Amino acid sequence: MSDEQNKMQILFAPVEPDWSPGRSARIASRIDRRLNRSPLRRWFPLSFGLAAVGALAFWFAVGTLRGPAETVLRFDDGSVVTPLSVASRVERLEGTDPRVGVRIRGGAVHFAVTPNPERIFYVDAGPVLIEVLGTDFTVSPGSSGTRVAVEHGRVRVRWSTGNAILVNGESGTFPPRETRAVQPEIIPTTEPIVSAESNSETPVKAVRSRSVANRVAWKSLAQSGRYEEAFVELDKSVRHFGGTSVVDGAEALLLAADTARLSGHPTQAVPHLRELVRRYPRDPRASLGAFTLGVVLLDELGRPRDAGPAFALSRKLAPRGDLVEDAWAREVESLFRSGDSGNARRMAEQYLKLYPSGRRAPSVRRFGSM
């Protein structure tokens, strides 16, 4: 990035404050006045009690208040725990390797945990316990449960009667409503978090039990072709439970993607399709999922740069499948549309070598500029 850095440093060179002695003295004088206000004057604004409380509540709601810098916890391996509001209370738990623990006593807290398969990082958030390998996520305890939102990576949320796994971009409120009445103590285990592949069916078990009604509703609506109504039900579940956790099985993910797409919400189809190829790469429908993802990104969302890799994945998942020629042609088109005509031509040449009289040859020639 150094060339780019040099260019940016030159570009930004004029962005400097006009820091004159007069301006500096003026600010110093304002600081002085502010610090030397009488206690009565200093605290007078707080007499507007309701207004202040209202404003504070507003700031809390939009997450703009940060805890004091001193409350940030830093670990030797580079992991950082950051309180997100003045109400956030967090403490490090005493423990020995391979377990490292943090307890949240209130307020939202952000975690940036450095990946380390040798130890288990866990968060005690009262009724739920979160275990993590390496990830960024936020935990927000609330009266209706503890909300866990994973930005990147993978965590397991455990509560008294079950557990769920959340991955990139997923979020949810735990424990599930019907289990909140019973809250025995949760003991952290040394059981490691299993890989995505070996745990593909178990992560969302507990969440799944809550969502039966919604799942039945959206599925039956979608299967009868009522995609708009199905999308409303599906969207409710996704918003309530978070991410794609309400949808299980390759077939259901494909159906959820179709529901979103065919009801005019292509953006919402993308996470279901990504989840399908991530969670079920060996499923015969994975290649179709990747191809559909490419079509949505290229044709409906105008993102050719993202569409190319999806078509490439479709070919890779089923090298002898029915879609391979189509995926190849659409990949050439994606490369062309993203401005990478060199690679488009290279891909086109490879296609014509493999399929000299292929049914997509005209399209490949056109987008390969041949």
Partner 1 sequence: MSRFSPFAPTDIEMATPAPHSLKPQLRLIGPGDNASGGYDVAEAFRHFSAYVAHIATRILGREDDIDDLVQDVFCEAVSGLKKLREPAAAKGWLATVTVRMATRRLRLRRLRLALHLDAPVEEVAWPGASPEQSAMLARVYRRLEKEPARHRIAWILRVVEGESLETVAQVCSTSLPSVKRWIRGVQDRLAEEGIVNVG
Binding residues for partner 1 (CB under 8 A): 1-5, 7-9, 11-19, 21, 23-32, 34-36, 62-66, 69-70, 72, 78-80, 82, 110, 112-115, 134, 136, 152, 305
Handedness of CA 84, 134, 316, 333 (dihedral sign): positive
Identify which of residues 25 and 370 has a Cβ nearer to partner 1 in the complex: 25
Nearer to partner 1, 21 or 45 (CB): 21
Q: Least distance in Å: CB of 334 to partner 1?
A: 14
Backbone angles phi, psi at 73, to 5 degrees: -100, 130
Give the residue with the Cβ less far from partner 1, 75 or 355.
Answer: 75
CB of 139 to partner 1, least distance (A): 15
CB 37, min distance to partner 1, A:
11
Nearer to partner 1 by C-beta: 67 or 141?
67
* Comparison of 107 and 281: residue with beta carbon closer to partner 1: 107
Neighbours of 148 (CB within 10 A): 26
> Rounded to the nearest whole angstrom, what is the least distance from the CB of residue 352 to partner 1 in the complex?
29
Strand pairing report for 135-142 and 145-152: antiparallel
Structural element, H or E, at residue 203 = none
Closest CA to 98 of 116, 120, 79, 70: 120
- Provide DSSP, 256-271: HHHHHHHTT-HHHHHH
Contact of 132 with 155, CB cutoff 8 Å: yes
Nearer of residues 1 and 187 to partner 1, judged by Cβ:
1
How near is the Cβ of 94 to partner 1 at its closest, in Å? Answer: 22
Q: CA-CA distance, 74 to 83, in Å (whole number)? A: 12
In the complex, least distance from residue 346 CB atom to partner 1, rounded to whole angstroms: 19
- Any long-range contacts for 88-97 (C-beta under 8 Å, 24+ apart)? 93/124
Sign of CA dihedral 133, 105, 159, 60: negative
State the nearest-atom distance from the C-beta of 32 to partner 1, in Å.
5
Least Å from the CB of residue 306 to partner 1: 10
Alpha helical stretches, state H, 48-93: 49-62
CA-CA distances (angstroms) from residue 11 to 15, 17, 281?
8, 15, 45
Between residues 86 and 262, which has the closer beta carbon with respect to partner 1? 86
Place of tokens 């065919």: 262
Between 83 and 294, name the residue whose CB sits nearer to partner 1: 83
Of the two residues 100 and 327, which places its CB atom closer to partner 1 in the complex? 100
Residue among 108, 171, 174, 177 nearest 139 (CA):
108
d(CA 62, CA 218): 32
- Give me the least distance between CB of 357 and partner 1, in Å please: 37
